[in-house]
Amino acid sequence: MVTHFCRCGFVSSQDGTRLLRECDQVVSASCDLVHAQCGKVLTLRAKAGLLSSLPAHDFLSLIHSVENFVRSSTSLTNQHCPQLRVALLSQARTFLDQYHDTSRKNLRWVWLWVWSH
């Protein structure tokens, strides 16, 4: 049996393997929990209208931050998180729909003003 030294003393290779597996499981479970909480925050803020009222550059910054977080945690755990990406894409679609509606309304007012003068 092979043993390795660690700060807590000597650990057999079987115990070391088991310990690494358990650490991987803890990291994966932690990432899953954080993904779920992040999705909940996005959803709650969207329901409160806080995301759709953000300026476009702030919303893009949020999108990039969440995407970077998802990419980093995916590379760390080798697990994908489709729920968070779906929540993010849903909010992005809502934001874009509202942004385009506002732009169309503004253009309509400009068009009406130009033709009335």
Is residue 116 in a domain? no
pLDDT tens digits along 8-28 = 566 678 888 888 899 889 998
Distance in Å from the first CA to the final CA of the chain: 91
Q: Which residues span the domain enclosing 56? A: 28-104
How long a stretch of residues is the chain? 117
Q: Does residue 13 belong to any structural domain of this protein?
A: no
- What pLDDT score does 78 carry? 84
Q: What is the pLDDT of residue 26?
A: 92
Q: Give the Cα separation of 105 and 101 in Å (integer).
A: 6
- Residue 36: is its pLDDT beyond 70? yes
Q: 62, 38 in Cβ contact below 8 A?
A: no
Kindly report whether the global pTM for this prediction surpasses the value 0.75: no
| Distance (Å, whole) CA 47 – CA 31 | 24
Does 52 have pLDDT greater than 80?
Answer: no
How far CA 79 is from CA of 53, 75, 110, in Å, comes to 32, 8, 49
Number of domains in the chain: 1
